[in-house]
Structure 1
Amino acid sequence: MSTTELTTRQEGRRQGTQSEPWVDDPYSRALRSGRGPLFLRRSDGWLLPLDVERWCAAPDAADTALLRRCRGPVLDIGCGPGRLVAALTAYGHCALGVDVSPAAVARTRGAGGAVLHRSVFERLPAEGGWATALLADGNIGIGGDPHALLLRIRELVAPGGRLLVEAAPYDVDERLTVRVEDARGRHGSDFPWARLGTRALLAAAADTGWTPAEHWEADGRPFVDLRHRRGAGAKPH
C-alpha cells in the first residue's frame, strides 16, 4: 500500500492543525526518512502495520516475480516511493507511476522513475492504452470502493491487457475508515480504505468485467493476474 484517493481535509485532533491523508502527515515523514514504524488505525483501535522499509528498499523476490509478468507500457497506481517504477524503467519498460502524495512523487523521481502527482480517478495519459496496470502493497483499497476502482482501471487498460493485483494475505472483504498514525500517536485525517483477500478480489473482478488468468503467492504475499475482457460489462452492484 502507498496512498488513498481521498483529499478532503479535517481538523487534526492531537496536533491542532489540518492535514490531508498521505500528504502532510506521518506517511510523508516516513517516506522521507525511509523508516517506520507506521500504521493504519481504525476507529476501534485496530492497527495494521505498514511496511515502509520494504516500500523504500529495492524490489524483493516477491516484487521481482510480479515485475516479470509486466508487459508493454506499465501504469503503477499508488506507486508510493517508486521502487517498482524505477525497477521497470531499469528493465527497459515504459513505466509511469501515479500517486497523490508529494513525498511519494519526490522519492519516485529521485529513484529515476517517471511519476505524476495525481489520483487514479483524474485524467491520465494514454487512457485505454496501458498494457499492464499494477495495484501492489494493498492498493486495491484505494478510495474504499474496489468495484469503482476496478471499473476505473478498465478505462485505463487496453482491451486484452492485464491488471496485476496484490491481495491481503488472508480471507478478508471489508470497507473501513482509517488514518495513518506513527508510534508517537501523530496522525493524519480519516479516509476510506478497503481490504480484500484473494477470494473477495476474484469476486469483485468478476463483477467488473475482469477475467482471472493466474494467481500465485511469493513470500506470503498473494497476487492475482486479471485480464481486461473485450466487450465485458460490469454486473449490477
Structure 2
Amino acid sequence: MSTVAMPGTAEHSWSADPYADALRAGRGPLFLRRSDGWLLPLEVERWCARADAVDREVLDRCEGAVLDVGCGPGRLVVELAARGRTALGIDVSSAAVAHTVGLGGPALLRSVFEPLPGEGRWGSALLVDGNLGIGGDPGALLERLTRLLAPGGLLIAETDPLDIDERASVRLVGVTGGTGGTGGTGGTGGAGSTGATGGTDGTGRPGDQGTCGTPFPWARLGTPALIRYARPLGWHTVAQWSAGGRCFLALRNRRTSSSAEPPKSTAVINSQRARKPSADRPVAAG
C-alpha cells in the first residue's frame, strides 16, 4: 500500500522549520497551504495551551489505555497522565515530541504507520486537531487503527464542521503577511477546521509567505465522509457531538478476540520516554 511510504514524507514536512518554530514560540501564524494558494489556519496557541473543557470532554469518553495519534505539543497526553491514565502520544515532529516529553507526557517520535508498542491492545485512539488528514488516505489510516486497537476498541476523531471529503498536497507555511483575501468560514478548529483564508494579497495572488515546508498529502473529512469510509471497514458509530465550534465522532471497531489483553504499556512507555529521539531516526520499539 502506498501509504507505507507516506510517513517519511510527513516526517520531513512536520519537522520543518515553520512547525518547529511555531511550537517553540507557542503561537502562529502557521498554515497548511494548497498549491492554489488557499490557506488553512492552524491553531497553534490552542495546541500549546492546557487541555480545555472541550478536550476534557473528549478524554472523559476514552476507555482503557489511550493512543494519541499526532499528539502535537502534547496537551491531551499530559492531561491523561495527570489523571493517572496509561497513554502514549506519537508524532513525526521531533519538536512536538520534545515539547510533550518536556511537559511530562509520554511520547514517541513515530509515524502511526510504523511499529508501535501495544499493537492490537489499545483501548482508545485519538485523531483530533485535523489528524484525520494524516497520510492523505482516510481508508488506510482507519485500517491501521483497526490493527492498533484492541477488539471493540474506541476511536474518537475530530471532523470538519462542513460535509467535506478533500485530499490535497499541502505545505506548512509561516505567513508573514498578505492574507487579505478570505475563504468560507464554518468553524475555528485546528487542521480539520473550515476557518480558512483565501491566502491572497487582494489581487488574487498568494500572499507573502515566510518559511515553507515540503509538500505532503493531507485530507479533510466531515462527519458524513468519515462514516462512509469507516462503515465498510467494520466500524460503527457510538456517538456524535459538537462543542466549542468543533465536531467529533466516536467509532468502535467490530473486531473480536477472546485473548485480548490491555497494553502492558506503563513500563514500556516510561522506558522509551527516557530515550532521546532523533529527527532522522524514530525511537525503536521496546
2:83 is matched with which residue? 91
Task: Tell me which amino acid in the other structure corresponds to 2:237.
Answer: P
1:201 is matched with which residue? 226
8 Å Cα contact 1:25/1:180 also seen in 2: no
Q: Distance in 2 between matches of 1:116 and 1:35?
A: 23
CA displacement at 1:64 relative to structure 2: 1.0
1:8 aligns with 2:9: yes
Residues 185-234 of structure 1: CA distance to partner in whole angstroms, max 9, x if unpaired?
A: 21000000000001101111112211111000011101001001125xxx
Q: Which runs of 5+ in 2 are unaligned?
A: 1-5, 177-208, 257-286
Spell out structure 1 runs of 4+ moving beyond 4 A. none
Aligned with residue 75 of structure 1, among 61, 67, 71: 67
Task: Tell me which amino acid in the other structure corresponds to 1:7.
Answer: G
Task: Tell me which amino acid in the other structure corresponds to 1:127.
Answer: E
1:132 aligns with 2:124: yes
Map residues 40-79 of structure 1 onto 2, 5 A cutoff.
40-79=32-71
CA RMSD of aligned residues (A): 1.3
8 Å Cα contact 1:34/1:56 also seen in 2: yes
8 Å Cα contact 1:73/1:132 also seen in 2: yes
8 Å Cα contact 2:26/2:45 also seen in 1: yes
The aligned length equals 218
8 Å Cα contact 1:6/1:192 also seen in 2: no
SS in structure 2 at match of 1:225: strand
8 Å Cα contact 1:105/1:117 also seen in 2: yes
Output the TM-score relative to the length of structure 1.
0.89
Aligned with residue 182 of structure 1, among 170, 174, 185: 174
Q: Distance in 2 between matches of 1:227 and 1:79?
A: 21
Residues 36-75 of structure 1: CA distance to partner in whole angstroms, max 9, x if unpaired?
A: 0110000001000000000000111111110100111000
8 Å Cα contact 2:22/2:30 also seen in 1: yes
Q: Distance in 2 between matches of 1:26 and 1:6?
A: 18
Q: Distance in 2 between matches of 1:127 and 1:159?
A: 11
Q: Distance in 2 between matches of 1:77 and 1:8?
A: 17
1:230 aligns with 2:255: yes
Aligned with residue 133 of structure 2, among 141, 150, 161: 141
2:239 is matched with which residue? 214
SS in structure 1 at match of 2:160: coil
Task: Tell me which amino acid in the other structure corresponds to 1:208.
Answer: L
1:22 aligns with 2:23: no
1:151 is matched with which residue? 143
CA displacement at 1:161 relative to structure 2: 1.1
Q: Distance in 1 between matches of 2:32 and 2:16?
A: 15
Q: Distance in 2 between matches of 1:6 and 1:172?
A: 24
Give identity over the alignment, percent. Answer: 60
SS in structure 2 at match of 1:107: helix
CA displacement at 1:6 relative to structure 2: 3.8
Q: Distance in 1 between matches of 2:68 and 2:244?
A: 21
Task: Tell me which amino acid in the other structure corresponds to 1:77.
Answer: V
8 Å Cα contact 1:174/1:195 also seen in 2: yes
CA displacement at 1:7 relative to structure 2: 2.2
Task: Tell me which amino acid in the other structure corresponds to 1:230.
Answer: R
2:155 is matched with which residue? 163
8 Å Cα contact 1:21/1:190 also seen in 2: yes
- In the superposition, relative to structure 1, how do residues 170 and 126 fare at CA in structure 2: closer, same or farther (>3 Å)? same
Q: Distance in 2 between matches of 1:81 and 1:26?
A: 14
Residues 151-183 of structure 1: CA distance to partner in whole angstroms, max 9, x if unpaired?
A: 000000001110000001111001100000012
